């Protein structure tokens, strides 16, 4: 929990600085590339989380691997690393993106369905739930056959479960009473 709060604070500070300097898109691109490297390279992930590797060595490796990054991004990576919080960098990047999307008026969420949804069905669902949220909805779609039918939508701290499996569970609970 404390690490999440720290990631939120670091992300807010970086976003505020990027907004002030007008480098939001560049910093966003840098962080996406950084997270991609963390996801794609197990060696880099181990290196990033290693308490044995000194902060100054990590910073020099960042400079080599991410030589095209904006100076503000490199300074931020250095600061976080010097503070011994480099293990939070992926979470900070995630929080940065969340806060940036919020500033842009985009609310992100997910929709899980039993089968792939048609474009018309997605638009109908979005039209019905959009008034409940401030901003433009952006839903990532995935398929989970265990739902049997229907869908589950998660946006921010809200969940709409219109799946057949949840209806069957509720019916089972009613019958067991």
In a shared domain, residues 14 and 89: yes
Last-in-domain residue among 62, 85, 102? 102
Going by C-alpha positions, the residue among 27, 84, 37, 91 that lies closest to residue 56 is 84
Residue 15 sits in the same domain as residue 44: yes
Number of domains in the chain: 2
Token representation of residue 4: 């999440």
Q: Are residues 119 and 171 in the same domain?
A: yes
Residue that the structure tokens 């931020």 belong to: 76
**Has residue 2 got a pLDDT over 60?**
no
Task: Mark whether 12 and 81 lie in a shared domain.
Answer: yes
pTM for this model (two decimals): 0.77
109 and 169: one domain?
yes
Domain boundary among 102, 126, 143: 102
Tens-digit pLDDT profile for residues 17-46: 999 999 999 999 999 999 999 999 999 999
Same domain, 91 and 152: no
Q: What is the CATH number of the domain that holds 7?
A: 1.10.520.20
Classify burial at 45, counting beta carbons within 10 Å of its beta carbon; exposed 0-12, middle 13-18, buried 19 or more: middle
Q: Which two tokens stand for residue 91?
A: 């979470």
Asked if 21 and 50 sit in the same domain, the reply is: yes
What's the pLDDT tens digit per position in 40-95?
A: 999 999 999 999 999 999 999 999 999 999 999 999 999 999 999 999 999 999 99
Same domain, 72 and 115: no
Backbone torsion region of residue 135, taken as left when φ is above 0, otherwise alpha when ψ lies between -120 and 50, otherwise beta: left
What is each CA distance from 56 to 68, 78, 80, in whole angstroms? 19, 8, 12
Instruction: Please tell me whether residues 163 and 133 are part of one structural domain.
Output: yes
Cα 128 to Cα 7, 57, 105, 123, 137: the distances in Å are 33, 52, 18, 9, 11
pLDDT class of 159 with cuts at 50, 70, 90: very high
For the chain, the average pLDDT equals 93
- List the domain range (segments joined by +) for residue 112: 105-176
pLDDT band at 148 (very low <50, low <70, confident <90, very high): very high
Residues 77 and 116 in one domain: no
Distance CA 158, CA 102 (A): 16
Task: Tell me if residue 83 falls in helix, strand or coil.
Answer: coil
């Amino acid at each position: 929990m404390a690490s999440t709060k720290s990631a939120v604070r670091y992300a807010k500070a970086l976003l505020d600085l990027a907004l002030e300097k007008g480098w939001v898109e560049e910093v966003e691109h840098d962080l996406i590339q950084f997270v991609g490297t963390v996801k794609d390279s197990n060696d880099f992930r181990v290196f990033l989380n290693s308490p044995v590797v000194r902060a100054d060595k990590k910073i020099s490796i960042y400079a080599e691997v991410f030589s095209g990054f904006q100076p503000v991004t490199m300074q931020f990576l250095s600061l976080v690393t010097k503070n011994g919080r480099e293990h939070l960098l992926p979470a900070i990047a995630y929080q940065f993106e969340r806060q940036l999307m919020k500033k842009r008026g985009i609310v992100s969420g997910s929709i899980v369905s039993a089968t792939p949804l048609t474009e018309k069905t997605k638009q109908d669902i979005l039209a019905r739930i959009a008034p409940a949220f401030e901003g433009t909805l952006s839903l990532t779609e995935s398929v989970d056959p265990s739902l049997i039918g229907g869908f589950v939508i998660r946006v921010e701290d809200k969940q709409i479960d219109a799946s057949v499996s949840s209806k069957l569970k509720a019916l089972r609970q009613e019958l067991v009473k």
